[in-house]
Structure 1
């Protein structure tokens, strides 16, 4: 049985693509892609839910590992791509957080909601006036 496993392993390691797919240089970044996928999905959620501290920490984390992915030998471009996407998503989230909490985004949203409610009320009043004629 051990000879069979050694023979299969040698055949896999002899093929460059299969060797790469069976390495941690491939599976590490692939398993790590859940972080940027979640971050990109979170850009559609309300900015009230964003944690400024966690966004900052994940931005530093991704910047660090972007640098690391190019410093190792051989360079791990898949890991770089993973953290590049995450860095972009975290910077977007950071902007949304600052806009909502520090640059008046919450107040703008409140005014927009009040204007929309006023428009609906005006439509109801016009509809009732038309009915009474």
Structure 2
């Protein structure tokens, strides 16, 4: 059995493409892609839900590992791409957090909600009047 595994490993390692796909140089970034995918999907959610502290930490984390991915030998472009996407989405989230918490977005959103409440209240009054007549 050990000879079979040794022969299979030698065959895989002889092919450069298979060797790469069976390495941590490939599977590390692939498994890490969950972070940027989640971050991109979170850009569609309300800015109320964004954690400024976590976003800041992820911006530093992604920038650090973008640099690391190019500093190792051989360069890991897949890891670079993963952290590049995450860096962009975290910077977007950071901008959305700043806009909401620091640049008046919270007050604007609350104002829009109160206007919607007034508008829906008026719509209910009209609906009740139509139903009565």
State the TM-score, normalizing by the size of structure 2.
0.90
TM-superposed CA distance for 1:72, in Å, is: 1.4
Q: Which runs of 4+ in 1 moved over 4 A?
A: 128-133
- Alignment match, 1:67: 67
Secondary structure of the residue aligned to 1:75 is coil
TM-superposed CA distance for 1:100, in Å, is: 1.2
- Alignment match, 1:95: 95
| 5+ residue gaps, structure 1 | none
Instruction: Please give the residue correspondences for 1:82-121 in structure 2 after superposition, counting only pairs within 5 Å.
Output: 82-121=82-121
Secondary structure of the residue aligned to 2:84 is helix
Does 2:63 correspond to 1:80? Answer: no
Distance 1:48 1:88 in 2: 20
Secondary structure of the residue aligned to 2:121 is helix
Residue-pair matches, total: 133
- Alignment match, 2:124: 124
Distance 2:124 2:45 in 1: 31
RMSD of aligned alpha carbons: 1.6
